[in-house]
Amino acid sequence: MPNRAAPLDLLLLPTWLVPVEPAGVILKEHALGIRDGIIAYIGPREAALRLECTEVRELPGVLLSPGLINAHGHAAMTLFRGLADDLPLMTWLENHIWPAEARWVTEAFVRDGTDLAIAEQLKGGITCFSDMYFYPDAAAERVHESGMRAQITVPVLDFPIPGARDADEALHKGVELYNDLRHHPRIAIAFGPHAPYTVGDENLEKIRVLADELDAAIHMHVHETAFEVQQAVEQTAERPLQRLARLGLLGPRFQAVHMTQISDDDLALLVETNTSVVHCPESNLKLASGFCPVERLWQAGVNVAVGTDGAASNNDLDLLGETRTAALLAKAVAGSATALDAHRALRMATLNGARALGLEACVGSLELGKAADITAFDLSGLAQQPIYDPVSQLIYATGRDCVQHVWVAGKQLLDNRTLTRMNEADLIARAQAWGQRIGGTNE
């Protein structure tokens, strides 16, 4: 009881408050209060002003929403942004990205690239992201320092990768990292087998056993292209998703990234196992990988989250823009203008992402008792007027430059579009230095 009467640390007074849960609700003349990093009050503005508060922030023209959740990316690949554009997936990977990674990726590369990605994501309203890249311990260290929230996935392939000579070493280091961070309030460790065509049955079975023992998530590129599926069928007479089901990997902790190729049998497996799908529309469009049938999945009851993928194939980490693309693309693919409406699109970028990452009890919606991971979007600008439905304006008419403030666990990491813990000029200088090295110039 004494806690309940304690003063609020911060009271936010926006024009609109969109909790996401319950679905479709827009609250006006409401306030949100934070205490000890947790949402402690949501209620009428008038009543809130009578509460004892350490700080009160008036936010006129602002829509307050749960922080955006980027459910798939390769953070450090920001340093490869624009390196090999306009190429098909396997040419891009085998002839350009993998050779560049073999030459350049070190712990220092991962630290600097992850810092750049964290800053870009915070400025775009993202409070939590899933990262799948080499030297996951270095990435976790940068997330810890930044104050952001993340799922760090331990990359596993059947061949040597930066930071691990083989899959066994990668898994051993992954378990150590999991144990080191198992009680971290903002970082979850998951396993990241790269794709069905780069990880064999033996290593997938090891991952399944470890994930079961640790109750850890598994994050994997699956059915990214028609070629991947066709090649698997020709070689094994089995679709990749069927193989993963046979090996026991699918389930509520499994995050299937891309899924542009979905048969009736694939859909049945996703539904039956309660597997989440992470949709990366802009990367899929840019690499001509195909179209994830989002509305079909949604109507079948599959949890669909959204991710940017890495900046080497997107080329930005703009989840608000990604969500707009997802909404528009879903309508074209479904042949229906009502597919993935604005409110469901926002849910996909928040609560569905939290559910995919196993974090829905903590984040993803503005509810009492959840962590105060919050984004404030300024809708007062010319391009947003007039406003009939602020969520529609957010999804269809607003860019990430309208992100004004960001809080993670009640700590303000973006204040009036300015990063509070990171030096933007330093980040740009470090990125440019890497660009000169990798590009072979001294400009």
Q: What CA–CA distance (Å, rounded) separates 407 from 14?
A: 14
| Residues 342 and 388 grouped into a single domain | no
| Residues 61 and 80 grouped into a single domain | no
Q: What CA–CA distance (Å, rounded) separates 108 from 308?
A: 23
Q: Tell me if 415 is assigned to some domain.
A: no
Q: Tell me if 179 is assigned to some domain.
A: yes
Q: Tell me if 429 is assigned to some domain.
A: no
| Residues 250 and 295 grouped into a single domain | yes
Q: Tell me if 426 is assigned to some domain.
A: no
Print the SS3 string covering 17-50: ECCCCCCCCCEECEEEEEECCEEEEEEEHHHHCC
Reference 289, options 258, 264, 253; nearest CA is 258
| Residues 157 and 250 grouped into a single domain | yes
Residue 363 — left, alpha, or beta (φ > 0 → left; ψ -120 to 50 → alpha)? beta
Q: What CA–CA distance (Å, rounded) separates 198 from 22?
A: 41
How many other β-carbons are positioned within 10 Å of the β-carbon of residue 7?
Answer: 12
pLDDT at 5: 65
DSSP per-residue string spanning 334-364: HT-TTSS-HHHHHHHTTHHHHHHTT-TTTSS
pLDDT at 2: 42
| Residues 340 and 389 grouped into a single domain | no
- Which residues, including other chains, have CB under 8 Å from residue 311's CB and lie 6 or more apart? 73, 77, 78, 80, 81, 117, 120, 317
| Residues 36 and 93 grouped into a single domain | no
Q: What is the CATH number of the domain that holds 162?
A: 3.20.20.140
Burial of 28 by CB count in 10 Å (0-12 exposed, 13-18 middle, 19+ buried)? Answer: exposed
pLDDT at 11: 98
Q: What is the CATH number of the domain that holds 54?
A: 2.30.40.10
Torsion 133-420-314-230 (CA) sign: positive
Counted domains in the chain: 2
Which residue, 356, 386, 419, sits at the end of a domain? 356
Task: Spell out the long-range contacts of 324-329 with Cβ–Cβ below 8 A and sequence spacing 24 or more.
Answer: 324/395, 324/396, 325/281, 325/282, 325/285, 326/279, 326/281, 326/294, 327/395, 327/396, 329/281, 329/285, 329/291, 329/294
Reference 100, options 428, 440, 442, 441; nearest CA is 440
| Residues 60 and 73 grouped into a single domain | no
Q: Where are the alpha helices (DSSP H) in 151-263?
A: 167-181, 201-214, 226-236, 240-246
DSSP β-bridge partners for residue 33: 11, 41
pLDDT at 443: 41
Q: Tell me if 423 is assigned to some domain.
A: no
| Residues 80 and 164 grouped into a single domain | yes
| Residues 274 and 245 grouped into a single domain | yes
Q: Tell me if 439 is assigned to some domain.
A: no
The DSSP code for 7 is P
Q: What CA–CA distance (Å, rounded) separates 173 from 155?
A: 10
pLDDT at 141: 98
| Residues 308 and 386 grouped into a single domain | no
pLDDT in tens, the chain (443 residues): 344 569 999 999 999 999 999 999 999 999 999 999 999 999 999 999 999 999 999 999 999 999 999 999 999 999 999 999 999 888 998 999 999 999 999 999 999 999 999 999 999 999 999 999 999 999 999 999 999 999 999 999 999 999 999 999 999 999 999 999 999 999 999 999 999 999 999 999 999 999 999 999 999 999 999 999 999 999 999 999 999 999 999 999 999 999 999 999 999 999 999 999 999 999 999 999 999 999 999 999 999 999 999 999 999 999 999 999 999 999 999 999 999 999 999 999 999 999 999 999 999 999 999 999 999 999 999 999 999 999 999 999 999 999 999 999 999 999 999 999 999 999 999 999 999 999 985 44
Burial of 249 by CB count in 10 Å (0-12 exposed, 13-18 middle, 19+ buried)? Answer: buried
| Residues 38 and 115 grouped into a single domain | no
Please give the residue range of the domain that contains residue 393: 2-66+374-408
pLDDT at 202: 98
| Residues 59 and 193 grouped into a single domain | no
Q: Tell me if 157 is assigned to some domain.
A: yes
Q: Tell me if 435 is assigned to some domain.
A: no
